[in-house]
Amino acid sequence: MEGIIFDIKHFAVHDGPGIRQTIFFKGCPLNCWWCHNPESQAANPEKFVKINKLDGKEFRKKITVGYKIAVNELFKIISGDQVFFEESGGGVTFSGGEPLMQADFLYEIAKLCKQNNIHTCIDTTGYASEKTIKKITEVIDVFLYDIKLIDNELHKKYTGAPVTGIIRNLKCLDQNKKNVVLRFPVIPGITNTEKNLSEIKSFIKSLKNINQIDILPYHNISNGKYERFKKENKMSSAQALPDKDMNILKAEFESIGFNVSIGG
Ligand code: SF4
């Protein structure tokens, strides 16, 4: 079986416990205004022209983002870092894009990792059928699960997809006592509004078994990517929240009983 990925990051330290290898799956059913990986969204490989400037001259190079890879071939790459996983308590993290968009491929590669004692994480929007979520829990140790906006209309406006299934799947993981770390992207004027924060706090307080949240600061380092990939950038003038505001937010989540990390 083959899947489509667009990058592999070795020695990652913010994508789950220990030292990790992060596999970036191509394709995402969402279209968040603040996406840091706009090149991840289309399901198939995409061609673009990379322009480098040097001494006033432009150098153009054709590049393809995304490539097919077989389960066995990918496993060989993942297991090449196994010694680092074992020494650090790390493993592999499936990210993207949205790995659940290639659920069969994800299941097969994660199963192979588990059969070889490699710890598995998924960095996910949770946008999938309940059947898919339940099946994938067989082979995933930790879910890094995005929680962005609770209001369905606002979620549709800013991500292009409804939140209802995402909330249903999160409740399902909670009821089944799966290991979940919530991830809240702090997007100025969009996710950090008083209304959304109040709705998020009230919702996550109702979860019985989840008590860890990473709050992820917005940064605009991806502006160049939007130009390169000729994608519309709706956040080009947004500014990151100052550190002191992130610390206030951290204290707010701590006050409702959560363990909070800034940046994951
Ligand atoms: S869910 Fe993640 S990868 Fe998908 S569009 Fe949103 S930010 Fe980008």
- Express each pLDDT in 64-99 by its tens digit: 999 999 999 999 999 999 999 999 999 999 999 999
What's the pLDDT score for residue 55? 83
- Measured distance CA(238)–CA(158) in Å, rounded: 14
Alpha helices by DSSP H, listed for the chain, are 71-79, 82-88, 103-115, 130-136, 152-159, 164-175, 194-205, 223-228, 243-254
Is the bond leading into 97 cis (omega within 30 degrees of zero)? yes
41 lines ligand 1 (CB under 6 A): yes
Q: Please work out whether the CB of residue 185 comes within 6 Å of at least one atom of ligand 1.
A: no
Residue carrying the six token digits 């996406």: 35
Length of the chain: 264
pLDDT above 90 covers a percentage of the chain that reads: 81
pLDDT band at 13 (very low <50, low <70, confident <90, very high): very high
Q: Which of these CATH numbers, 3.20.20.70, 3.40.50.300, 3.30.70.100, 3.40.47.10, describes 2-262? A: 3.20.20.70
Token pair listed for 215: 């709050």
Amino acid at residue number 213: I
Name the β-bridge partners of 53.
58
For the beta carbon of residue 154, count every other beta carbon within 10 angstroms: 18
Taking the C-alpha atoms of residue 99 and residue 122, their distance in angstroms, rounded to an integer, is 8
Amino acid at 152: N
The domain segmentation of the chain, as residue ranges, is 2-262
pLDDT tops 90 at residue 109: yes
167 SS3 class: helix
Q: Is 35 in the pocket of ligand 1 (CB under 6 A)?
A: yes
Q: Where are the beta strands (DSSP E) in 82-204?
A: 91-95, 119-124, 142-146, 179-186
Span from the CA of 4 to the centroid of ligand 1 (angstroms): 16
